[in-house]
Amino acid sequence: MKFWDRLLAIDRRWIYIVIWLVVMLPLLFPFKIRPIAMPPVIRLFNYIDTMPEDKALLISIDYTPDTEPELHPMAYALLRHAFANRTKVGVLCVNSVMSLGLGENAVRVVAEEFNSHATTNADSIIYGRDVVFWGWSTPFVTVLLGMGEKITNVFPVDYYGAATESLPITPYIKNYDDAGILVTIAASSVPQSWITYAQVQFGLPIGCGITAVSAADYYVYLNSGQFTGMLAGMKGAAEYEELVEQKLMREDKDWGLRRKATEAMSSQTAAHIAIMLFIIIGNVAFFATRRRKS
Protein backbone atom coordinates (compact mmCIF):
# COMPACT_ATOMS: atom_id res chain seq x y z
CA MET A 1 0.00 0.00 0.00
CA LYS A 2 1.42 3.33 -1.03
CA PHE A 3 1.95 6.31 1.25
CA TRP A 4 -1.26 8.16 0.34
CA ASP A 5 -3.34 5.02 0.72
CA ARG A 6 -1.92 4.42 4.19
CA LEU A 7 -2.62 8.04 5.07
CA LEU A 8 -6.27 7.79 4.06
CA ALA A 9 -6.63 4.53 5.99
CA ILE A 10 -5.20 5.88 9.25
CA ASP A 11 -7.21 5.15 12.39
CA ARG A 12 -9.20 8.28 13.24
CA ARG A 13 -8.31 7.85 16.91
CA TRP A 14 -4.81 9.08 16.09
CA ILE A 15 -6.34 12.28 14.75
CA TYR A 16 -8.31 12.70 17.98
CA ILE A 17 -5.11 12.26 20.00
CA VAL A 18 -3.29 14.88 17.93
CA ILE A 19 -6.17 17.35 18.33
CA TRP A 20 -6.25 16.68 22.09
CA LEU A 21 -2.52 17.44 22.35
CA VAL A 22 -2.86 20.56 20.18
CA VAL A 23 -5.65 21.84 22.43
CA MET A 24 -4.14 20.90 25.80
CA LEU A 25 -0.49 21.91 25.38
CA PRO A 26 -1.20 25.63 24.68
CA LEU A 27 -3.49 25.69 27.71
CA LEU A 28 -0.67 24.38 29.88
CA PHE A 29 2.05 26.39 28.11
CA PRO A 30 0.27 29.28 26.35
CA PHE A 31 2.19 31.09 23.66
CA LYS A 32 1.97 34.85 23.19
CA ILE A 33 -0.51 36.19 20.67
CA ARG A 34 -1.46 39.81 20.07
CA PRO A 35 -5.06 39.89 18.80
CA ILE A 36 -6.07 42.81 16.60
CA ALA A 37 -9.24 44.44 17.92
CA MET A 38 -12.19 44.63 15.55
CA PRO A 39 -14.44 47.73 15.19
CA PRO A 40 -17.24 46.52 17.56
CA VAL A 41 -14.68 45.97 20.33
CA ILE A 42 -12.87 49.25 19.64
CA ARG A 43 -16.16 51.15 19.73
CA LEU A 44 -17.05 49.79 23.15
CA PHE A 45 -13.55 50.39 24.51
CA ASN A 46 -13.37 53.97 23.22
CA TYR A 47 -16.82 54.80 24.55
CA ILE A 48 -15.96 53.61 28.06
CA ASP A 49 -12.51 55.18 27.87
CA THR A 50 -13.91 58.63 27.08
CA MET A 51 -16.94 58.68 29.38
CA PRO A 52 -17.32 61.79 31.56
CA GLU A 53 -15.78 61.40 35.01
CA ASP A 54 -19.15 61.73 36.72
CA LYS A 55 -20.64 58.78 34.81
CA ALA A 56 -20.50 55.21 36.12
CA LEU A 57 -20.10 51.90 34.32
CA LEU A 58 -22.82 49.33 35.01
CA ILE A 59 -22.04 45.67 34.34
CA SER A 60 -24.79 43.05 34.31
CA ILE A 61 -23.48 39.52 34.87
CA ASP A 62 -26.16 37.68 32.90
CA TYR A 63 -24.32 34.40 32.27
CA THR A 64 -24.04 31.21 34.30
CA PRO A 65 -21.19 28.76 35.02
CA ASP A 66 -21.76 26.76 31.81
CA THR A 67 -20.51 29.72 29.72
CA GLU A 68 -17.97 31.02 32.24
CA PRO A 69 -14.84 30.17 30.15
CA GLU A 70 -16.08 32.27 27.24
CA LEU A 71 -17.71 35.19 29.05
CA HIS A 72 -16.03 35.58 32.45
CA PRO A 73 -12.83 37.09 30.96
CA MET A 74 -15.01 39.90 29.58
CA ALA A 75 -16.06 40.88 33.09
CA TYR A 76 -12.42 40.91 34.21
CA ALA A 77 -11.38 43.10 31.27
CA LEU A 78 -14.23 45.58 31.73
CA LEU A 79 -13.51 45.94 35.45
CA ARG A 80 -9.78 46.44 34.81
CA HIS A 81 -10.60 49.16 32.30
CA ALA A 82 -12.96 50.94 34.67
CA PHE A 83 -10.62 50.72 37.66
CA ALA A 84 -7.70 52.00 35.56
CA ASN A 85 -9.83 55.04 34.66
CA ARG A 86 -11.06 55.43 38.25
CA THR A 87 -14.59 55.03 36.91
CA LYS A 88 -17.17 54.04 39.50
CA VAL A 89 -18.72 50.64 38.82
CA GLY A 90 -22.04 49.05 39.69
CA VAL A 91 -22.36 45.28 39.16
CA LEU A 92 -25.59 43.29 39.24
CA CYS A 93 -27.19 40.03 38.10
CA VAL A 94 -30.67 39.80 36.59
CA ASN A 95 -30.74 36.55 34.61
CA SER A 96 -30.10 33.91 37.25
CA VAL A 97 -29.16 33.52 40.88
CA MET A 98 -26.37 31.23 39.62
CA SER A 99 -24.60 34.34 38.32
CA LEU A 100 -23.97 35.67 41.82
CA GLY A 101 -20.78 33.74 42.46
CA LEU A 102 -19.35 34.83 39.11
CA GLY A 103 -20.10 38.49 39.79
CA GLU A 104 -18.59 38.37 43.27
CA ASN A 105 -15.50 36.61 41.93
CA ALA A 106 -14.91 39.18 39.19
CA VAL A 107 -15.24 42.17 41.54
CA ARG A 108 -13.06 40.62 44.23
CA VAL A 109 -10.28 39.30 41.97
CA VAL A 110 -9.84 42.47 39.90
CA ALA A 111 -9.96 44.69 42.99
CA GLU A 112 -7.22 42.55 44.56
CA GLU A 113 -5.13 42.87 41.39
CA PHE A 114 -5.21 46.65 41.61
CA ASN A 115 -4.79 46.79 45.37
CA SER A 116 -1.67 44.63 45.18
CA HIS A 117 -0.02 47.52 43.31
CA ALA A 118 -1.61 50.38 45.26
CA THR A 119 0.52 52.54 47.53
CA THR A 120 -2.11 54.88 48.99
CA ASN A 121 -5.76 54.82 49.90
CA ALA A 122 -6.52 56.94 46.85
CA ASP A 123 -4.82 54.37 44.58
CA SER A 124 -6.75 51.48 46.09
CA ILE A 125 -10.04 50.05 44.87
CA ILE A 126 -12.30 50.18 47.91
CA TYR A 127 -15.60 48.35 47.95
CA GLY A 128 -18.48 50.71 48.60
CA ARG A 129 -16.50 53.73 47.43
CA ASP A 130 -15.29 52.69 43.95
CA VAL A 131 -17.41 49.64 43.21
CA VAL A 132 -20.62 48.06 44.44
CA PHE A 133 -22.06 44.61 43.80
CA TRP A 134 -25.81 44.88 44.18
CA GLY A 135 -26.41 41.19 43.66
CA TRP A 136 -29.56 39.64 42.22
CA SER A 137 -33.21 40.58 42.46
CA THR A 138 -36.48 39.58 40.85
CA PRO A 139 -38.87 39.95 39.02
CA PHE A 140 -36.79 40.60 35.94
CA VAL A 141 -38.76 43.44 34.31
CA THR A 142 -39.30 45.21 37.62
CA VAL A 143 -35.54 45.34 38.17
CA LEU A 144 -34.80 46.78 34.73
CA LEU A 145 -37.51 49.44 34.99
CA GLY A 146 -37.05 50.14 38.69
CA MET A 147 -33.36 50.93 38.33
CA GLY A 148 -34.30 53.75 35.99
CA GLU A 149 -36.16 55.42 38.86
CA LYS A 150 -34.05 54.62 41.91
CA ILE A 151 -31.58 51.78 42.26
CA THR A 152 -31.80 51.56 46.05
CA ASN A 153 -35.51 50.79 45.75
CA VAL A 154 -34.64 47.72 43.69
CA PHE A 155 -31.56 46.78 45.72
CA PRO A 156 -32.13 48.01 49.31
CA VAL A 157 -29.16 45.87 50.38
CA ASP A 158 -26.13 44.77 48.40
CA TYR A 159 -24.81 41.24 47.87
CA TYR A 160 -23.10 41.32 51.27
CA GLY A 161 -26.20 42.53 53.13
CA ALA A 162 -25.12 46.15 53.63
CA ALA A 163 -27.75 48.87 53.22
CA THR A 164 -27.09 50.42 49.82
CA GLU A 165 -28.19 53.86 51.03
CA SER A 166 -25.27 53.83 53.46
CA LEU A 167 -22.58 53.15 50.85
CA PRO A 168 -20.41 56.13 49.80
CA ILE A 169 -20.87 55.22 46.12
CA THR A 170 -24.67 55.46 46.18
CA PRO A 171 -24.98 59.25 45.66
CA TYR A 172 -22.92 58.81 42.47
CA ILE A 173 -25.10 56.01 41.05
CA LYS A 174 -28.72 56.79 41.92
CA ASN A 175 -30.32 55.63 38.66
CA TYR A 176 -29.64 55.30 34.95
CA ASP A 177 -29.05 59.05 34.64
CA ASP A 178 -25.76 58.57 36.50
CA ALA A 179 -24.57 55.74 34.24
CA GLY A 180 -22.53 56.32 31.12
CA ILE A 181 -23.29 52.84 29.77
CA LEU A 182 -24.49 49.42 30.86
CA VAL A 183 -22.69 46.36 29.49
CA THR A 184 -24.63 43.13 29.68
CA ILE A 185 -22.59 39.92 29.44
CA ALA A 186 -24.94 37.11 28.52
CA ALA A 187 -25.43 33.78 26.77
CA SER A 188 -29.16 34.33 26.27
CA SER A 189 -31.64 36.92 24.99
CA VAL A 190 -31.16 39.18 28.03
CA PRO A 191 -29.34 41.91 26.03
CA GLN A 192 -32.51 42.45 23.99
CA SER A 193 -34.43 43.07 27.22
CA TRP A 194 -31.90 45.68 28.32
CA ILE A 195 -32.51 47.47 25.03
CA THR A 196 -36.29 47.28 25.44
CA TYR A 197 -36.55 48.39 29.05
CA ALA A 198 -33.41 50.42 29.78
CA GLN A 199 -32.48 52.00 26.47
CA VAL A 200 -35.88 52.62 24.92
CA GLN A 201 -37.51 53.72 28.18
CA PHE A 202 -34.62 55.67 29.73
CA GLY A 203 -32.11 56.29 26.93
CA LEU A 204 -29.33 54.31 28.62
CA PRO A 205 -26.51 53.33 26.20
CA ILE A 206 -26.08 49.55 26.07
CA GLY A 207 -23.05 47.42 25.22
CA CYS A 208 -22.97 43.64 25.21
CA GLY A 209 -20.68 40.66 25.56
CA ILE A 210 -22.12 37.48 24.08
CA THR A 211 -21.10 33.97 23.13
CA ALA A 212 -19.62 33.49 19.67
CA VAL A 213 -22.54 31.34 18.55
CA SER A 214 -24.96 34.20 19.37
CA ALA A 215 -23.02 36.93 17.55
CA ALA A 216 -24.96 36.65 14.29
CA ASP A 217 -28.21 37.38 16.13
CA TYR A 218 -26.88 40.59 17.65
CA TYR A 219 -25.10 42.27 14.74
CA VAL A 220 -28.43 43.76 13.64
CA TYR A 221 -28.64 45.64 16.97
CA LEU A 222 -25.02 46.70 16.67
CA ASN A 223 -25.44 47.97 13.11
CA SER A 224 -28.60 49.89 14.05
CA GLY A 225 -26.74 51.67 16.85
CA GLN A 226 -28.78 50.11 19.64
CA PHE A 227 -25.59 48.50 20.95
CA THR A 228 -22.73 50.92 21.45
CA GLY A 229 -20.24 48.07 21.02
CA MET A 230 -20.04 44.31 21.26
CA LEU A 231 -17.64 41.61 22.46
CA ALA A 232 -18.28 38.37 20.58
CA GLY A 233 -17.01 35.19 22.19
CA MET A 234 -13.51 34.38 23.39
CA LYS A 235 -12.04 36.37 20.51
CA GLY A 236 -13.88 39.53 21.55
CA ALA A 237 -12.73 39.10 25.15
CA ALA A 238 -9.11 38.63 24.03
CA GLU A 239 -9.29 41.76 21.86
CA TYR A 240 -10.59 43.80 24.79
CA GLU A 241 -7.83 42.40 27.01
CA GLU A 242 -5.31 43.58 24.43
CA LEU A 243 -6.75 47.12 24.38
CA VAL A 244 -6.76 47.29 28.18
CA GLU A 245 -3.14 46.10 28.36
CA GLN A 246 -2.10 48.69 25.77
CA LYS A 247 -3.77 51.38 27.87
CA LEU A 248 -2.05 50.25 31.08
CA MET A 249 1.32 50.12 29.31
CA ARG A 250 0.84 53.69 28.06
CA GLU A 251 0.29 54.69 31.67
CA ASP A 252 3.38 52.78 32.86
CA LYS A 253 1.19 50.21 34.61
CA ASP A 254 2.23 47.02 32.88
CA TRP A 255 1.39 44.71 35.76
CA GLY A 256 1.54 41.45 33.84
CA LEU A 257 -2.12 40.69 34.51
CA ARG A 258 -3.26 37.24 33.48
CA ARG A 259 -5.24 37.33 30.24
CA LYS A 260 -7.42 34.23 30.37
CA ALA A 261 -9.18 34.83 27.06
CA THR A 262 -5.90 35.43 25.23
CA GLU A 263 -4.42 32.27 26.76
CA ALA A 264 -7.43 30.27 25.61
CA MET A 265 -7.16 31.82 22.14
CA SER A 266 -3.67 30.36 21.80
CA SER A 267 -5.20 26.88 22.23
CA GLN A 268 -8.05 27.71 19.87
CA THR A 269 -5.65 29.11 17.26
CA ALA A 270 -3.45 26.00 17.41
CA ALA A 271 -6.51 23.76 17.05
CA HIS A 272 -7.76 25.71 14.02
CA ILE A 273 -4.35 25.48 12.34
CA ALA A 274 -4.19 21.72 13.01
CA ILE A 275 -7.68 21.16 11.57
CA MET A 276 -6.83 23.17 8.45
CA LEU A 277 -3.67 21.12 7.97
CA PHE A 278 -5.64 17.88 8.31
CA ILE A 279 -8.14 19.11 5.70
CA ILE A 280 -5.35 20.07 3.29
CA ILE A 281 -3.48 16.78 3.77
CA GLY A 282 -6.69 14.76 3.41
CA ASN A 283 -7.62 16.50 0.16
CA VAL A 284 -4.11 16.08 -1.26
CA ALA A 285 -4.22 12.38 -0.39
CA PHE A 286 -7.67 11.95 -1.93
CA PHE A 287 -6.79 13.57 -5.25
CA ALA A 288 -3.40 11.82 -5.38
CA THR A 289 -4.98 8.36 -5.02
CA ARG A 290 -7.81 9.19 -7.42
CA ARG A 291 -5.33 10.31 -10.10
CA ARG A 292 -3.31 7.08 -9.70
CA LYS A 293 -6.42 4.91 -10.02
CA SER A 294 -7.62 6.76 -13.10
CB of 59 within 8 A of CB of 79? yes
Predicted confidence at residue 256, as pLDDT, reads 67
Predicted confidence at residue 25, as pLDDT, reads 87
Q: In terms of pLDDT, which residue wins out, 279 or 184? A: 184
Residue 193 has pLDDT above 80, yes or no: yes
CA distance 232 to 219: 10
Architecture of domain 34-258: 3-Layer(aba) Sandwich (3.40)
Q: In terms of pLDDT, which residue wins out, 134 or 5? A: 134
> In Å, how far from its chain's centre is CA 255?
20
- Radius of gyration (C-alpha) of the chain in whole angstroms: 23
Average pLDDT over residues 93-109: 94
Predicted confidence at residue 223, as pLDDT, reads 94
Average pLDDT over residues 154-168: 96
Q: The whole model's pTM is what?
A: 0.88
Q: In terms of pLDDT, which residue wins out, 206 or 294? A: 206
pLDDT band at 163 (very low <50, low <70, confident <90, very high): very high
Distances (CA, A) of 164 to 146, 174, 220: 15, 10, 37
Average pLDDT over residues 264-292: 84
Predicted confidence at residue 268, as pLDDT, reads 83
Quote the percentage of the chain above a pLDDT of 70.
Answer: 96
**Of the spans 1-15, 24-38, 142-156, 280-294, which averages the highest pLDDT?**
142-156
Q: Where are the domains of the chain?
A: 1-30+262-294, 34-258
First-to-last C-alpha distance (Å) of the chain: 17
CB of 240 within 8 A of CB of 74? yes
Report the candidate in 78, 100, 192, 109 with the shortest Cα–Cα distance to residue 144: 192
CA distance 128 to 163: 11
Q: In terms of pLDDT, which residue wins out, 159 or 283? A: 159
Predicted confidence at residue 294, as pLDDT, reads 63
Average pLDDT over residues 187-201: 93
Predicted confidence at residue 255, as pLDDT, reads 67
> In Å, how far from its chain's centre is CA 10?
40
Q: Over the range 222-258, which residues count as b (16 or more CB within 10 Å of their CB) and which as e?
A: beeebbbbbbbbbbbbbbbbbbbbebbeeeeeeeebe
Could you write out the DSSP letters of every residue in 56-102? EEEEEEE--GGGHHHHHHHHHHHHHHHHHTT--EEEEE-S-GGGHHH
Predicted confidence at residue 293, as pLDDT, reads 67
Q: In the structure, how many helices (H) and strands (E) does the chain have?
A: 12, 6
Predicted confidence at residue 1, as pLDDT, reads 53
pLDDT band at 181 (very low <50, low <70, confident <90, very high): very high
Predicted confidence at residue 31, as pLDDT, reads 76
CA distance 129 to 127: 5
Average pLDDT over residues 175-199: 95
Average pLDDT over residues 192-208: 95
